[in-house]
Structure 1
Amino acid sequence: MIIPFSCRWIHHIVPLFLLSRVITATDYQLQRWDPIRSSLKPGQSDHFTYNINVTQLGQDYFNTVEVLLFISGTIESMPLRYYNLTDNTQFQNDTALQVTYYFSPSDPSNSTKIGYNNITFENGYIMALGTSPITYNPLFALEEQETTNITGQSLVLEYTTLHLEVSLINPQTGEIIQPSDNDDYYDYEDDDDNLWTYHLGVAEDDQLFQYDERSWIHVLDTDHNSALVTSGNDSTRLTTYLKTNNTLESPYELFLYSLKDSEIIENNLNCSLSAILNGPYMATSISNDSNSTPSTNYKKISLNVHSLQIQKQLVGDDQLSNVQDMLYISGLAPNTTYALYLIRKIGTRMSNNDNSITGVVFSRQLITTKVKSTCSIIFNLDICSSVAYAAPTPLKYYVNKTAMANDYDSLVRSLYENFTTALQLIPCDAELDQRYSPLRTCEDCAQSYLNWLCSIMIPRCSSPGNFGSIFRKKFKSRNSLIDTFIQPTDNYYELMPCIDSCYEMVRDCPAQFGFSCPNIKSSDELFRHSYSYFNSSESSETCNFLGNSSHLIDRKNFLFPK
């Protein structure tokens, strides 16, 4: 969990005031992993309690000195005048939402309270640790240690109740705001316009609400009306989650916002999970939301969807390794910038209409659609399964991306079948000393050839000026088969295949095939019109590579030594 400075909690040492409205602990007793949603206006305060179950602490807390309680919360919404809007509208900064927390003893005759702290929401978020000291009954402690029968009888926890008091304060003075303090701003007949709505939760093993400064989104590509993204490289955590919960339902969900609405969130509540969930989003991948119709995980996403939707599927092998979320956003406007927010649930419940949702919100990721429909995103191809990018749009399939994908796949399949026929003439299953290589197999050769073939027969579109891109006229593609069978609708820029795909094919296949790659020194023109190379100093991708990208080598210094 990474918390940037802007989202860390800040302690304010202020005196406690008499609360003008107290919600009793009977009505609002917090439960483990069950956050509370509440609303306040000046003159009101909430009081919550969380009781530590001493009998369940034995094994987890034996030989420790204190119980840790994780406290976290988010602001869902606040009065409009407190938002810092992007149009330079004046906003109020004389009110803040504060949580005071402390512990009280289980013995009603003991009025001592410990651990007083005050935390104020920043960017819509708080997180803190409450600590209650543990002592031990020596008799039971010795007995349990000798028998390893941890019953909890040895634990002596005097302060068993955590109290949380929530109120609106003046951040300059630390005083609690009263109705008379803001008479000029508040119309109490219209409560909805004056409420601060927040979520608060307590747990003994993790923060219910978290913020991560990474966007955790990898943008694969965009075209004129759609975008394709994946969740971050989190296959180990995701695989563990899927197997532990015996589910194919991913913990990740995506929210699409307009750039203008996302700016309001960024300036005010960018660390708040509940603000993202309850804000004016345009679409979401959550399945029970009426604004979108996501696909079932491990079911192929439909390319022929033109409405505003976010479809989601898991991509990976049958053993649930190397698993990622792939998310396809359709129905976007051309030449428009949008904002994406990815969230990852913590716990077992995930419903956009459920106030007990908990999880991690990642930072904003911006995407921009292309101006024209020259190229279209295709993926989930049968034979070129690694293709997931925008390719030149065929003239006959101007709006049918599924048919377009099938045409590209069919073109590659016909060429690949010829190659596999030739590969059958190689003694792949001979004794090791009779094979063409002791290190490579025919399966390695077939895969490397397929990756190379897909990258050259399915051009990846790029933008003018990008490193590794070359301009192609619509009937002068790199291969005449593309002009004949695909017939691009317009001129386009192609991101050249990585030279690594050619090197891997030459390395993995028998010498009988005569494969070779252009040399930058002896065939400079051929190299530059056929391939590019991985250059880590560039911010965008510099060549098109299909397969395991960890095999890519930064070849700038190899090809162009200083």
Structure 2
Amino acid sequence: MIYTLPVLLATAALSQLVVQDFERDWQYKIGVEDMGEMPLTRYPQTKNRLPLVPRDTLDADDFANAIEMTDGSPVEVSIGPGEHALYRFDFTTPNVSYISLHYFTANVIEYPLNMSRLVSDEALDDLFGLNLYINDTTYAVTEFFEEGYASDIVYYSNNYVALNGTIYVEPYFQTTSRYFDQTDQAKFTFGFSSSELIYQWDNGTLADVVDTDGSSAFLQSSRYNVSADSLYRIVNETGSLKLHVFDEDGFGKVAGLLKSWAAVTAAQTVISDDLIQVGYRNLSGSYRLQLYVEGLDPSTTYYSILTFGLGNSGASGTVYSPRKFTTQEGGVCEFIYDLEFCSNVAYSVPRSNLTDNNRDLKLLYDAYAAAIYANFSLLMQQVSCDVSLDSRYSPIVTCEDCEEAYKNWLCSVTIPRCTTNSSSYFIRREAGEMRTEELQNLIQPQRSYYEVLPCIDMCNEIVRTCPASFGFQCPQNNDTILMMSYNYYNSDTSYDTCNIVGDAVLQLAKPDDSSAQRVLLDKKLWGMIAFTTLLVL
């Protein structure tokens, strides 16, 4: 998503300029003959602030000595209190009927003394900004930064007349002793491009935090319908996708500049690139980006921000919105993903006393689930799957749908999701008491933990997609068996109230308050059943 705020429009050989700001709901018009001194007519005014202000700081020498800018190449400037600088961008159009556009974008790299947290937005407008001039006029259109970002579109047309002109940019830093002294510097970067916005921001995250353990975090994107080659180049060749991880102190330094790609990419992070694995996963022709972050401290809050570079220069790009996450306590849960059989599993599981190796832990869980699935696979061989549509058990779903639903359900109940965070939605498991006795003997957890129960929707998905002759049923309502085996997904919470594996459709049902009152069942109910009429493990 790209946002541009004011719009500059010059038409008919630059004889008329219209400035419009849709968010502030005001409009001004300037009628001019030669783009010199600009008479000003104003209509209708709904705000007090004028976007066009006369500037007395510039003279003929300033315009003559302005620093030249080129298309697509941003410049950086560092200025102190009371200082200003002037840059020029020359443009021309061919002798044809033609409309040209130039996209102007600017980022704050750094405010002195972290001004973005010390003063209000109104005060920042008075202290820092950019003035844009067409040719050598002494009237400026003032651009204000919003969270470190400002943008404009300048477009002009000619009627078979070649046009030559100049757009001037003046970054300013107003003098005041209230906040800083003469040694402070404000740093900006800005540029024009005829093809794209050099700097962009998006209020999405690109990838969300899926889960954490005591030392790592895992982020994953939505599905993308792009080719494998395209995604491979993005992830492995261009180096344009980058994850920035900040602790609370580091995030505070960019908290007011979250729309500034330059500020985020220049800021100091706490995790080096070699501790971040970036990859992707094939999901039947669509793909998800995956980012695995190691080297984190337990029980610590972090912020992740993704940036995506544009072009090959590494000097421009898009910044995405931050995500806040907190790691779990150490030594209890361990994150696993990319399992061979349970390929949709990507969450933290109870650690085992039998191994400290992540690969071995994955194999323990994965092989256990795969062995149980073998019995179900034999049952599916008795179903007529490769027959005409009117001979199948359902005209809507297929055997593949049933197999996928059962596999996801089985993986969720044989590979419990682990957390150290307490919630009425979770069940506390002691170190010697897992979901089943067989699972307990296999894993032997190191410490007590809380289990995030599977979502009831995965059980319902089996009933919906598998042959009715199998007799599968799920616990109903808020009965005791249901609430000890599954839970509902509550979208009103900031965390997952149940664990979903795969793409089962969530009911978004909110259980009654009674669901928080859990009673441990007799362990006989937890006997391992490969498949049964009542789908409870």
TM tier relative to shorter chain:
0.7 to 0.9
Residue 98, structure 1, aligned to residue 98, structure 2: no
2:168 is aligned to: 163
2:339 is aligned to: 381
**Identity across the alignment (%):** 28
* Bigger relative CO (Cα 8 Å, ≥ 6 apart): 1
Unaligned 5+ segments in structure 1 are 62-66, 87-91, 105-111, 137-153, 171-176, 188-193, 284-290, 294-308
Q: CA deviation at 1:433?
A: 4.1
Residues 244/278 of structure 1: CA separation in 2 closer, same or farther (3 Å cut): closer
Residues 501/49 of structure 1: CA separation in 2 closer, same or farther (3 Å cut): same
1:292 is aligned to: 273
The counterpart of 1:116, out of the listed 123, 129, 140, is 140
Q: CA deviation at 1:369?
A: 0.9
1:547 is aligned to: 502
Q: Do the aligned residues in 2 keep the contact of 1:21 with 1:43 (CA within 8 Å)?
A: no
Residue 537, structure 1, aligned to residue 492, structure 2: yes
1:286 is aligned to: none
Residues 380/21 of structure 1: CA separation in 2 closer, same or farther (3 Å cut): farther
Q: Distance in 1 between matches of 2:276 and 2:65?
A: 42
Read off the aligned partner of 2:127 and give its amino acid letter: A
Q: CA deviation at 1:219?
A: 1.3
The counterpart of 2:431, out of the listed 464, 474, 490, is 474
Q: Distance in 2 between matches of 1:367 and 1:25?
A: 52
The counterpart of 1:15, out of the listed 48, 54, 78, is 54
Q: CA deviation at 1:426?
A: 2.5
Q: CA deviation at 1:404?
A: 1.0
- Residues 34-76 of structure 1 show CA distances to partners (whole Å, capped at 9, x for unaligned) of 21122223464332222334139866x3xxxxx4432111121
1:314 is aligned to: 280
* SS of 1:396 mapped into structure 2: coil
Residue 76, structure 1, aligned to residue 142, structure 2: no
2:39 is aligned to: none
Q: Do the aligned residues in 1 keep the contact of 2:95 with 2:162 (CA within 8 Å)?
A: no
Q: Distance in 2 between matches of 1:475 and 1:556?
A: 31
Residues 95/370 of structure 1: CA separation in 2 closer, same or farther (3 Å cut): same
Q: Do the aligned residues in 1 keep the contact of 2:278 with 2:291 (CA within 8 Å)?
A: yes
1:126 is aligned to: 150
1:341 is aligned to: 305
Read off the aligned partner of 1:185 and give its amino acid letter: D
Q: Do the aligned residues in 1 keep the contact of 2:76 with 2:189 (CA within 8 Å)?
A: yes
Q: Do the aligned residues in 1 keep the contact of 2:52 with 2:140 (CA within 8 Å)?
A: no
Residues 167/19 of structure 1: CA separation in 2 closer, same or farther (3 Å cut): farther
Residue 280, structure 1, aligned to residue 268, structure 2: yes
Within-5 A mapping of 1:219-234: 219-231=209-221, 233=222
1:270 is aligned to: 258
Q: CA deviation at 1:24?
A: 8.0
2:208 is aligned to: 218
Read off the aligned partner of 1:161 and give its amino acid letter: T
* SS of 2:454 mapped into structure 1: coil
Q: CA deviation at 1:115?
A: 7.5
Residue 255, structure 1, aligned to residue 244, structure 2: yes
The counterpart of 1:331, out of the listed 287, 295, 309, is 295
Q: Distance in 2 between matches of 1:350 and 1:33?
A: 10
Q: Distance in 2 between matches of 1:224 and 1:314?
A: 23
2:374 is aligned to: 417
Identify the range of structure 1 (34-43 vs 336-345) with the bigger mean alpha-carbon deviation. 34-43
Over aligned residues, Cα RMSD in angstroms?
3.7
Q: Do the aligned residues in 2 keep the contact of 1:25 with 1:47 (CA within 8 Å)?
A: no
Q: Distance in 2 between matches of 1:519 and 1:31?
A: 67
Residues 11/382 of structure 1: CA separation in 2 closer, same or farther (3 Å cut): farther
* SS of 1:29 mapped into structure 2: strand
Query: Which is richer in strand?
Result: 2
Q: Do the aligned residues in 2 keep the contact of 1:383 with 1:413 (CA within 8 Å)?
A: yes
Identify the range of structure 1 (213-222 vs 77-86) with the bigger mean alpha-carbon deviation. 77-86
1:51 is aligned to: 90
* SS of 2:367 mapped into structure 1: helix
Read off the aligned partner of 2:208 and give its amino acid letter: H
Q: CA deviation at 1:81?
A: 7.4
Q: Distance in 2 between matches of 1:439 and 1:212?
A: 38
Q: CA deviation at 1:220?
A: 0.4
Q: Distance in 2 between matches of 1:332 and 1:48?
A: 44
Read off the aligned partner of 2:460 and give its amino acid letter: Y
Read off the aligned partner of 2:198 and give its amino acid letter: L
Q: CA deviation at 1:84?
A: 4.0
Read off the aligned partner of 1:167 and give its amino acid letter: Y
Q: Distance in 2 between matches of 1:526 and 1:449?
A: 19
Q: CA deviation at 1:434?
A: 3.8
Residues 185/95 of structure 1: CA separation in 2 closer, same or farther (3 Å cut): farther
Q: Distance in 2 between matches of 1:195 and 1:407?
A: 57
Q: Distance in 2 between matches of 1:4 and 1:204?
A: 15
Q: Do the aligned residues in 1 keep the contact of 2:132 with 2:167 (CA within 8 Å)?
A: yes
Q: CA deviation at 1:458?
A: 0.6
Within-5 A mapping of 1:425-464: 425-464=382-421
Read off the aligned partner of 1:547 and give its amino acid letter: G
Q: Do the aligned residues in 1 keep the contact of 2:103 with 2:193 (CA within 8 Å)?
A: yes
User: How many residues are aligned here?
Assistant: 468
Q: Do the aligned residues in 2 keep the contact of 1:21 with 1:46 (CA within 8 Å)?
A: no
